[in-house]
Chains A and B, each alone.
Chain A
Amino acid sequence: MKSKIYIDRRPLPILFLIEYRKTFLLLISFIVFFTFISSNNIPKSLTVEAYQTLVIFFFAIFLWVTNIIPLAITSLMVMGLLSSFHVLEVNKIYSFFGNKAVFFIIGSFIISAGISSSGLSERIAYYVLSRFGDTPYKLVLSIFFLSALMAHIMPEHAVAALLFPILVSVSKRLNLHSNSVLGKYMFFSLAWGSVIGGVVTFLGGARNPLAVGIMFEATGQNIGFMEWIVAIAPPVYLIMGIVALYIKRKVSASTKDTRLIENMITDNRKRMGKITFKEIKATFILIVTIYMWIFHSERFGIANIALLSAALFFVLNIMGWEDARKVIDWGPIFMYGGAIALGRSLVETGLLEFISEQYISNIDFTILSFICSIFVISLFLTEGVSNAAVIVILLPVVLQIASNFDYAPKLAVYLVAVPAGLAFMFPMSSPPNAIAFSSGYIKPSEAIKIGLIFKVISIIVFTVFALIYWPLIGVY
């Protein structure tokens, strides 16, 4: 394809500044960082270590928000800085990579790779689309529910990446124009389904185990695999229902004959052949793993189950190391190690206690205002910042606030982690959105408008569930 170029004729100094803005920002941020960290003007009630942690924390937030350097590199740098300034003991800082959340994430990446490389996920996708996609609204709803359910067991970005090429073929087969309503909602369904489905379990987004990991390091408390689902699934399923009704209403008017795709899907299914032994083995491992997570996670630990399950994919010859190596995303893993270390430093140096005494203890937080404010901040912050970064930035502080007001740490985790995953509005907010936007059917203005409505619905639904349902199941 011919590359489309254009010549930017703005003055060269401006082009220079634009091209190297990241370098300038980085340089300035380093100068500001070193100015503050070497300052002797430390508040009296703050220890040197707490002050240094504060400076490193703000520096890290700046880098995570602006994304000048990759998030994972910021995290590694944070570990280096914490260690260099002796905020915590060196061995202790690096030991945070030994957190079970990190190993759960590694295990879940391998499980996801195993399911993909066995061909099981693709077969499920073709089966669902051919079985239910005979009218426009059924097609769109099947895409929505398929992506949502797959995001329960695979990372949301992997689901979007898997279904995207299939949907592109479908849209070509139906000859959909760029302003087609059906085309638009097919890709909206992909993004929304992956995003909403991804918050229900620990597997949909690695941010959920990260949040639990940070809470464990700070309070020693844990949230089990099933416990998470029991708390989160009901409100999320209600939101899914509302979104599904909205999609159905919008697409019902479409008169496109989607039976045209039946042959294409059937052909592709036929090309895949009969179900392979690899797929059977992958299904077996997946069922056993989910069973173990639900019923035996207390005894064995979810990270151990994930690692053993990951190993089974190799033992049963479903995938090779090369397949796994390609899909293990080391970025989040590096990021989480650094994030957990930073969170721990905030607690151990007494910085959070200081902030809490100085600034938060005077605020009168009722349970309603606590739920609403934290949920809203996380929900909107995630549109501009990586959803994992939202957790790293907010959760340590929110845990401290919760502790001050005697609210359960689990409540803090749910209120930060769940909305951090609900990024509907912008392409940069989450990978599924970016993938869906690349189809060309979605206009940013529409995504912002509809996304905003879904956000308001999410706030209402979660506030009601947090006030009524969560106390019933013992969250707080």
Chain B
Amino acid sequence: MNTLQIFKDTCIDNILDKIEEIIEEQIRFIILRFDSKLVDAERKKIIETIKKYFDIFVILKTDVPPCKKRIEEYLSYGIHGIFFNETPSKYTEEQIDTMTFAAEIFPYNLVLAGVDDKLSIERLLDKKIIPIAPYGNKDLIKFIKNHRKFRTISSGIIKYIPIVEANQCQYTTIDKIKMKMILEAINFRQKLMVKNVEDSFNSSSL
């Protein structure tokens, strides 16, 4: 998995160099994990810079936060998707509730969550969350791939973000154009949905 751990002192040039290497390997998504010392503004700036230079799906890897407000803040970073990576992958009702909220506000089929058993897979797919099995667990991967709900939820996008399996594919020009369109649509959706409280007061002239 193309997870990039970003620390407080990670230089933006290093991040961009790493992404460039990833793109050269025909991969079109990147999973970012931020160190807790990075504040929201810094995270947002890093994501803006990545999006400025690359047409690539940016996915945030994080634990399930204790409150839903945090999910809204994650969306405001400008990320395209979110990957909840709890270990062990036994989710409580509250966590499922929070992830369901994420699935409601994030683009369709871009909320992912780690799993290590079939029951969790069923629960997540019911909530339109894409389950991610550990690499090497062929049994679970096969179960996910053959699941009817998975095929419905992930249709279209999984070609660009093949995170269920590590294998990559070659992208044609048409694929690249389609991907660009999907990315721009997601960015536009975010622009419409993410609002600043102050801006709202200003626009209502209060």
Q: List chain A positions with a Cβ less than 8 A from chain B.
A: 2-9, 12, 15-16, 19, 426-428, 437, 444
Does B198 count as interface, using CB distance less than 8 angstroms?
yes
Q: Is the CB of A426 within 8 A of B194?
A: no
Of the listed residues A2, A5, A12, A19, the one surrounded by the most CB atoms of chain B closer than 10 A to its CB is A5
Q: Is the CB of A7 within 8 A of B75?
A: yes
Interchain CB contact under 8 A, A4 and B193: no
Could you tell me which residues of chain B, from 154 to 206, have a CB within 8 Å of some CB in chain A?
Answer: 189, 191-198, 205-206
B73 at the interface (CB under 8 A from A): yes
Number of chain B interface residues as a range: 10 to 19
- Which 9 A-B residue pairs are closest in the complex by CB-CB distance? A428-B205, A15-B192, A4-B197, A5-B76, A7-B72, A8-B195, A7-B105, A8-B193, A7-B193
Residues of A within 8 A of B75 (CB): 7
Residues of A within 8 A of B196 (CB): 3-5
Residues of A within 8 A of B76 (CB): 5, 7
Given contacts A2-B40, A427-B205, A437-B206, contact A9 B197 (CB under 8 A): no
The answer to whether B72 touches A426, judged by C-beta atoms less than 8 angstroms apart, is: no
| Complex contacts, A19 vs chain B, CB 8 Å | 191-192
Determine if B205 and A15 form an interchain contact, defined as CB atoms under 8 angstroms apart. no
Task: Tell whether, in the assembled complex, residue A5 and residue B195 are in contact, meaning their CB atoms are under 8 Å apart.
Answer: yes
- Taken together as a complex, chains A and B put the C-alpha atoms of A174 and B196 apart, in Å, by 30
Residues of B within 8 A of A8 (CB): 192-195
| A5–B72 CB distance below 8 A | yes
Q: Say yes or no: is B104 at the interface (Cβ < 8 Å to chain A).
A: yes
CA distance A12 to B190 in the complex (A): 10
Task: Enumerate chain A residues within 8 angstroms of B40, measured Cβ to Cβ.
Answer: 2-3
Evaluate contact between A5 and B197: CB separation under 8 angstroms: yes
Evaluate contact between A6 and B197: CB separation under 8 angstroms. Answer: yes
Q: Nearest residue in A to B192 (C-beta to C-beta)?
A: A15
Neighbour of B195 across the interface among A6, A437, A444, CB < 8 A:
A6
Residue of B nearest to A18 (CB): B192
Q: Name the B residues within 8 Å of A428 (CB-CB).
A: 205
A67 → chain B, closest Cβ, in Å?
10
Kindly provide the distance from the CB of A104 to the nearest chain B CB, expressed in whole angstroms. Answer: 30
CB distance from A214 to the nearest CB of B (A): 27
Cβ-neighbour of A12 out of B192, B195, B198 (below 8 A): B192
Q: Mark B91-105, 1 if CB is under 8 A from A, else 0.
A: 000000000000011
Q: Could you tell me the distance in whole angstroms from the C-beta of A19 to the nearest C-beta in chain B? A: 6
Q: Which residue of B lies closest to A443 (CB)?
A: B206
Chain A positions within 8 Å of B194 at CB level: 5, 7-8
Which residue of chain A has the shortest Cβ distance to B203 in the bound complex? Answer: A18
Which of A4, A7, A16 has the most B CB atoms < 10 Å from its CB?
A: A7
Whether B105 lies near A9 (C-beta < 8 A) is yes
How far apart are A300's CB and chain B's nearest CB, in angstroms?
42
Question: Interface 1/0s, chain B 59-88, versus A by CB < 8 A?
Answer: 000000000000011011000000000000
**Across the two chains, which residue of chain B brings its CB closest to A429?**
B205
Which of A2, A15, A427, A444 sits near B193, CB closer than 8 Å?
A15
Q: How distant is the Cα of A8 from the Cα of B194 in the complex, in angstroms?
A: 6
Extra pairs beyond A2-B40, A8-B193 (18, CB < 8 Å): A4-B196, A5-B72, A5-B76, A5-B194, A5-B195, A5-B196, A7-B194, A8-B192, A8-B194, A8-B195, A9-B104, A9-B105, A9-B193, A12-B189, A12-B192, A15-B192, A19-B191, A426-B205
Which residues of A have CB within 8 Å of B41?
3
Min CB gap A385→B, angstroms: 12
**18 A-B residue pairings within 8 Å (CB atoms):** A3-B40, A3-B41, A3-B196, A4-B197, A5-B76, A5-B195, A5-B197, A6-B72, A7-B75, A7-B193, A8-B192, A9-B193, A12-B193, A16-B192, A426-B205, A427-B205, A428-B205, A437-B206
A427–B206 touching, CB < 8 Å: yes
Within the complex, what minimum Cβ distance (angstroms) separates A430 from chain B? 12
A318 to chain B: closest CB distance in Å? 35
Q: Which B89-132 residues have C-beta < 8 A from chain A?
A: 104-105
Known: A9-B105, A12-B192, A19-B192. A4 touches B198 (CB 8 A): yes
What is the CA–CA distance of A4 and B201 in the complex, to the nearest angstrom? 12
B73–A5 touching, CB < 8 Å: yes
Contacts of B192 in A (CB 8 A): 8, 12, 15-16, 19
Q: Which residue of B lies closest to A20 (CB)?
A: B192
Min C-beta distance of A255 to chain B, whole Å: 30
Which of B76, B194, B198, B206 has the most A CB atoms < 10 Å from its CB? B206
Nearest residue, chain B, Cβ from A7:
B72
> Within 8 Å CB of A426, what residues of B?
205
**Chain A residues, CB < 8 A from B189:** 12
CA distance A6 to B194 in the complex (A): 6
CA distance A396 to B196 in the complex (A): 41
User: In the complex, what residue of chain B is closest to A428 when comparing beta carbons?
Assistant: B205
For B76, B105, B189, B192, the residue with the greatest tally of chain A CB atoms inside 10 Å of its CB is B192
CA gap between A376 and B195 in the complex, in Å: 38
Complex CA gap A7/B69 in Å reads 9
> What distance in Å separates the Cβ of B97 from its nearest Cβ neighbour in chain A?
16
For the complex, give the distance between the alpha carbons of A5 and B192 in Å.
13
Query: Which residues does chain A contribute within 8 Å of B104, judged by CB atoms?
Result: 9
Roughly how many angstroms separate A426 CA and B195 CA in the complex, as a whole number?
A: 23
* Residues in chain B near residue A444, CB distance under 8 A: 206
Query: In the assembled complex, how far is the CB of residue A16 from the closest CB belonging to chain B, in whole angstroms?
Result: 6
When C-beta atoms are compared, the residue in chain A nearest to B105 turns out to be A7
Chain A residue at minimum C-beta to C-beta distance from B106: A7
CA distance A4 to B197 in the complex (A): 6
| Residues of B with C-beta under 8 A to A6 | 72, 195, 197
Residue of A nearest to B72 (CB): A7
The CA of A104 and the CA of B125, in the complex, are separated in Å by: 71
Q: A444 to chain B: closest CB distance in Å?
A: 6
**A16 partner residues in chain B, CB cutoff 8 A:** 192
| Shortest Cβ distance from residue A14 to the other chain B in the assembled complex, whole angstroms | 9
